[in-house]
Structure 1
Amino acid sequence: MNQPDTPTSRRRLSAVWLIPLMAAFIGLWLVFSYLSSQGPIITLKLEDAEGINAGKTAIKMRNVQIGVVESVSLSEDLSHTLLSVQMQADTDRMLFSDAQFWVVKPRVGREGISGLSTVLSGAYIELLPGSNGKKTKTFTVKNSPPPEKTGDGLFLKLVSEPGTNINNGDPVSFRSLKVGRVVETQFDRQAKLFRHRLFIEKPYDVLVSESSRFWKVSGIGFQLDARGFQAQLSSLEALLGGGISFSVPDSSMATGAPVEDGHQFELHNSQESARRALYTQTLDYVLLVERSVRGLKAGAPVEYRGIRVGTVEQVPWAFAEQGPNAMTDSPIPVLIRLEPQRVNQQSNIALTTWKEEISHMVNNGLRASLKAGNLLTGSLFVDLAFHQNAPTTDTSATYNSVPVMPSVAGGGLSKLEDQLHALLKTLNELPMKNMADNLNNNLKHLSGVTGRIESLLNDPALNTLPQQISSNLDALDATLQGWQSGGDGYQELQGTLQKLNRLLDSAEPLLDTLNEQPNALIFQRHPTTDPQPRGAQ
């Protein structure tokens, strides 16, 4: 007999219901696990979506994936691309307003080759976390890594004039050793200057000091000036794209204190201009040059006995300010700058003492002159030397409030040029036409004489003259043989000489008598006494 169901049996659940309940619990757990593993959704803005794929492009930090691009779309004004990115959990602490994103893909540039790992895997977006504490959900993606991603080292500011052609990635070298690079370049519209940001790697950051100077290098360069021929060859990287070099240009100067991040320097065009920037204490003088200044340029050296002591600043300087009439027979002013720090190699000098010493040297005959520095280019330089017979000068003379350095006519090539000019002037004053006419007349007479000589040489009688001379010489030889010892002529001459000798012997007493008594031929040699008259007897 069947018993009726009790209420207890009706409320009992079947074990079949455990399976869907377990499945629902697992589903809820998966949903909770998925939601708990997801981070915030952010929006990234970039110029174009080259290499970006929805659902594939990852967001990474230190090669660890922390997000993925969910969708790619265009902005409303179609000016840029918008990426919707699903970040993973625990990424909120990274997403402050100063966080930076950039696309990592294969690149070939002056910095080298980078991003080769993305050739097969595809491009991805790298994150540099922010730290300013300001939350945001929208970020801008850059095409290149930010400067802060370069590594440990020293960041410097560099100011340059337009036209220096310095770009991001250009190498920065210290004595041909690459120690850093240019990481950022901006143009200041108001100041019309380029402002660069340099990164110097460790441990080379200790090489930068307050006395360091930066200058542009072009890889390879040639210079031919008053100092001769100079060639510069830098690294291959600088040869291809240029670069920047720095050091203390004058090794004798003090190195100076180290610098900190953000220290600003000026970019110079050459190492020589960078060296001159070290010499902050200078003395200006003016040369009043009477002769031509062709070949003398700004930057030419000023030397004393072969030692560089200064630089030519401007040629000409403040010339003909009062109009063309002031140019007539007026000397050409040349501004020179003496740099005592080149000589004494000290950071601080007493300019007053130097000025007094130079004035004393001028009173003792110190004079400036222009001399040839290079025969090929004709470039000149200023030479300071003592001249014993230099005329006295007023050391207080000034030109536009700048002291005047007395000058004398240059020697060497310039003096030779003046002499050559005087010689050419003398030659121009010669009566060349009359001299040419006289020369032509003389040439005509010479031509007539030459014709007569030629006709004389062609005379047959002249051709027999050598034979006649030979016959006469033979006859003369035969005659001379007759007068040789033993010949008839010789015997006759010998007899004649003997007769002459006897004759002279006979005439010798007569000659002695005539010598003693010239009147012996008229009067007797021993005259008789005169007769005496007799007297009457």
Structure 2
Amino acid sequence: MSEAQHATRRTQRSLSPVWIVPLVALLIGAWMIYDNISRLGPSVTLIMENAEGIEAGKTLIKTRNVEVGKVEKVSLSDDRSHAEIVARMSPQAANMLNQDTQFWVVKPRIGREGVSGLSTVLSGAYIQLQPGNSEVTQETFEVLEQPPVAPADAPGLRITLISDVGNAITTGDPITYQGYTVGRVESSDFDPEQRKMRHRLYIQSPFEVLVSTTSRFWTVSGLDIRLDSEGFRVNVGSLESLVGGGITFGIPNNAGQGTQAVANSTYVLFSDEASAKEGRYNDYLEYVLLVDDTVRGLSANAPVEYRGVRIGTVMSVPWNFSAQQPDSLSRFAIPVLIRIEPQRFDETQDEVDLEQWQTRLNNMFNHGLRASLKAGNLLTGALFVDLNFHKDTPAHQEMTFANKPVFPTTSGSFAQIEQKVSNLLDKLNGLKIEPVLDTLNSTLASTEQTMRKVNDIAASVDALMADPATGQLPANVNNTMRQLRDTLQGFAPDSQGYNELTQTLSRLEKLMRDIQPVVRTLSDQPNALIFDKKLTEDPQPRAK
């Protein structure tokens, strides 16, 4: 037998069926991890002033009331100046996160438009997402304090207003046109370099056609009460503007409609409607009034009128008071700066030939055109500048004050009245009133004596009236009148006395007729009662 053969021992490695289960579990776990990772959306960081009402793992992020994310972490910033919120968004929200995207917290709010967010009282606050249209993605956002007025892609018009500091315009204030709300204020920011307020306005569609290149914007306070040289005026706006104010706009009288405004146009915000209308008079002539009268009651923006028609505005009272007075003036006058605005005569003109108007005014100065102060309101004492022609005025001399031409002036109505009163007092002082006073004293003495006698007579009358006999006098008079009436009633036509009197008068009349022949005979022959009556011969006619 050959060498002993040795068996080679080989170990056969085979996979035990026991390992199949862990492998399958591992594969399933890996697939689940991949599936979860693939379903996770992007993570965003939200910056807030404070995290009131925000809770990690509970607060949702919604858009159009659809959940698109959830808050995962709420923490304080490193410098402790604000709160940082980390939220996990859903994959479908990935294309919504760009530079124009806005976030704000929806919670119960009480504003000018009423109460909003009441649905969050039970469910809790949530963060609202408004998608933007920008192509630049972004992962860190600042949460707005107030909800935006309108989405960035909302149809309408957005413009900018520039105004001085001091108005009370805030985000959300209404924009009205003839009392109807057509938009809102989106934001209000202060520019410290220019010291101006910038207001971003949104005019909703289809009202953007109301804004044109000639439109003027001004603030409304709801209730505007004015008592000035032009009278008493009260303007009442809408209830919303009465509570919180707002902005309104319009086109000045006789101004063209202009062309429709384009997006992001810039306008000036005026303090009131009057200032907005005044703002379009950009061509003017400036003059200085050197007033010798008092300027108490004259203020800036007072009207300059020519025979009742406003042609200008008072700009400053006083103006450049410390400047040197012209040598031709004997008294220290009060300088007042005014503007003559020729566009007021024809507001449709965009440009005015100022040199022609200046030449025309110089000719009018030579013909007696003068400025004076007159009272526009007796209640407040407000004054205005009145331009009119005056006769017998000194010749006009051209002069300047602080490099501005001087408008010739004359004394106002109050000054003229004061001068007349002064002249009257001078005349009264020149009168010799001592003789008049002596005569007046004598007259007063005589009057005193007369009054003393009148008092004595009055006392006598009082004593007479107090006598009891005087009191019985009306009763005696009544008795006498009653007796007289009874007596007269006895002579009535149907009374017995009247009949007897009639018969007596008849007898007396008959007796008088019978006695007439006797009386005639005695008249012709007085002794006829003793001697016989002589018979007269018949008369004989005379011969020719």
Correspondence for 1:158 among 154, 157, 161: 161
Matched, 1:294 2:296: yes
Matched, 1:366 2:369: yes
Matched, 1:447 2:448: yes
Correspondence for 2:261 among 259, 262, 266: 259
Q: What pairs up with 1:441-480 in 2 under 5 angstroms?
A: 443-444=444-445, 446-448=447-449, 450-451=451-452
Q: Which 5+ residue runs of structure 1 have no aligned equivalent?
A: 1-10, 464-537
Match of 1:354 in 2: 357
Correspondence for 2:125 among 99, 103, 123: 123
Distance 1:62 1:431 in 2: 99
Correspondence for 1:37 among 25, 36, 39: 39
Correspondence for 2:196 among 185, 193, 197: 193
Match of 2:88 in 1: 86
- Percent identical pairs in the alignment equals 46
Match of 2:213 in 1: 210
1:422-451 deviations in whole A, cap 9, x for unaligned?
Answer: 556766888999988986675455434544
Q: What pairs up with 1:184-333 in 2 under 5 angstroms?
A: 184-248=187-251, 250-322=252-324, 329-333=331-335
Q: CA deviation at 1:359?
A: 2.3
What is the total number of aligned residue pairs between the two structures? 448
Match of 2:142 in 1: 140
Q: CA deviation at 1:336?
A: 1.7
> Root-mean-square deviation (CA), in Å?
3.8
Distance 2:459 2:62 in 1: 115
Match of 2:514 in 1: none
Correspondence for 2:402 among 400, 403, 426: 400
Match of 2:420 in 1: 419
Instruction: Give the counterpart letter for 2:279 in structure 1.
Output: A
Q: Which 5+ residue runs of structure 2 have no aligned equivalent?
A: 1-12, 465-544
1:78-98 deviations in whole A, cap 9, x for unaligned?
Answer: 443332322212433233355
Closer, same or farther: CA 67–425 of 1 in aligned 2, 3 Å? farther
Distance 1:63 1:177 in 2: 30
Instruction: Give the counterpart letter for 1:373 in structure 2.
Output: G
Q: What pairs up with 1:171-190 in 2 under 5 angstroms?
A: 171-190=174-193
* Matched-pair contact (CA < 8 Å) for 2:149–2:184: no
Match of 1:67 in 2: 69
Q: CA deviation at 1:163?
A: 1.8
* Matched-pair contact (CA < 8 Å) for 2:109–2:115: yes
Closer, same or farther: CA 45–454 of 1 in aligned 2, 3 Å? closer
Closer, same or farther: CA 152–118 of 1 in aligned 2, 3 Å? farther
Instruction: Give the counterpart letter for 2:400 in structure 1.
Output: T
Q: CA deviation at 1:230?
A: 0.9
* Matched-pair contact (CA < 8 Å) for 1:111–1:170: no
Match of 1:100 in 2: 102
1:54-94 deviations in whole A, cap 9, x for unaligned?
Answer: 32221122222111122333344444333232221243323
Q: CA deviation at 1:282?
A: 0.5
* Matched-pair contact (CA < 8 Å) for 2:149–2:172: no
Distance 1:144 1:108 in 2: 12
Distance 2:64 2:458 in 1: 112
* Matched-pair contact (CA < 8 Å) for 1:223–1:230: yes
* Matched-pair contact (CA < 8 Å) for 1:215–1:244: yes
Closer, same or farther: CA 263–458 of 1 in aligned 2, 3 Å? closer
Q: CA deviation at 1:274?
A: 1.6
Closer, same or farther: CA 459–24 of 1 in aligned 2, 3 Å? closer
Distance 2:382 2:419 in 1: 17
Q: CA deviation at 1:283?
A: 1.1
Q: CA deviation at 1:122?
A: 2.4
* Matched-pair contact (CA < 8 Å) for 1:254–1:347: no
Closer, same or farther: CA 142–416 of 1 in aligned 2, 3 Å? same
Range with greater deviation from structure 2 (349-358 or 402-411) = 402-411
SS of residue in 2 equivalent to 1:91: helix
- Using the size of structure 1 for normalisation, the TM-score is 0.72
* Matched-pair contact (CA < 8 Å) for 1:98–1:130: yes
* Matched-pair contact (CA < 8 Å) for 2:158–2:203: yes
SS of residue in 2 equivalent to 1:302: strand
- Using the size of structure 2 for normalisation, the TM-score is 0.71
Q: CA deviation at 1:179?
A: 1.8
